[in-house]
Amino acid sequence: MLKTKLLLTTIFMGSTVFAQGPAPEAPPAPGGQGASAVDLSVKQKPTLTPADMINQSKEYFTGMGAVVKRIQTLQDQAKREKDIIRLNCVTDKLVQARVNVNIAEQSMATMQESVARNNEGEQTHEFTRLTIVNQKVTVLGAEAENCIGEDLSFVGATRIEVEVDPNIPQYDPTQPGSPFIDITRPPSASPID
């Protein structure tokens, strides 16, 4: 009887366990603003093959390139509008983005070498680095979009309005009077001719 109860309990619990669906996936990490197509989640180390890493890295480069291009467009726009405040902000983001792209290029080269040498540890390290750099560039792109220009903080060019009292004469009263001809009637007289 005890063995039968144990067997039934095991079957019952097992069916209960296997009745549950697979564990839900972890919710996606909160993405940055801008393009929602970029997947910022870091895949688990055991699920990526070296080819996957390289392909993903190439996608990262495509995305970073688009972000740098967008920041350059914003820079040109600020230059045209002569918005110095916004230009400084965007230029700062562009410089940082380019530095990060350079880092990503170095990581890409190192990762490809490690793939060739079948150095799994180094592959993972460089891929992680690439992922972080991609995230940074994406954030810089979002920050560049939100650079505040003069149109939000500038209240307008200084304008001077002069209000002249209409009672004030338009001519210059400090000038001496102009000479005027004298054609007044002479006094009566009987002159000597």
Partner 1 sequence: MNRRFALSIGLGALLAGRVASAQEVTIGYAGLPAKSSGESNTGIQISDGVLLHAGFGVEAGYDTNVFYAPTNTIGSSIFRFMPYLELTNATRTGPVSKELTFDAHAGLQYRHYGNSVISNAGYADSWNPNAGLSLSLGGAQFGFAVADVFARVEDAPYANSAGTGGVPAKGIGIERNNNQASIEGRWSPGGGRLTSILRFTNMVNIYDQNSQQSYSYANAMTNTLMLDVAWKWLPKTAIFLNVSQSFVDYLNNSAATMNHLSNSYPLYVTTGLRGLLTEKTSAVLTLGYVNGFYSNGASTSGFLGSTYLDLAFTARLTQLSRAVVGYRHDFLNTVISNFAYEETVYASYVQQIAGRLGLDLSGRYAYLSYQGQTGDPTQQGRVDNYFQLGATLDYFLRNWAYLGVGYSLLDNRSNIAADSYLKQQVFARLGVTY
Binding site for partner 1 (CB under 8 A): 165-169, 172-193
Please name which of 123, 156, 3 lies closest in space to residue 54, comparing C-alpha atoms: 123
Separation CA 122–CA 1 (nearest Å): 59
Shortest CB 170 distance to partner 1, Å: 9
Neighbours of 163 (CB within 10 A): 5
CB nearer to partner 1: pick between 20 and 184? 184
Shortest CB 175 distance to partner 1, Å: 8
Shortest CB 163 distance to partner 1, Å: 12
CB nearer to partner 1: pick between 17 and 164? 164
Please name which of 154, 51, 144 lies closest in space to residue 95, comparing C-alpha atoms: 144
Please name which of 87, 76, 74, 62 lies closest in space to residue 138, comparing C-alpha atoms: 62
Report residue 94 as tokens: 């562009």
For 56, the 3-state DSSP assignment is helix
CB nearer to partner 1: pick between 15 and 175? 175
Shortest CB 164 distance to partner 1, Å: 9
CB nearer to partner 1: pick between 152 and 189? 189
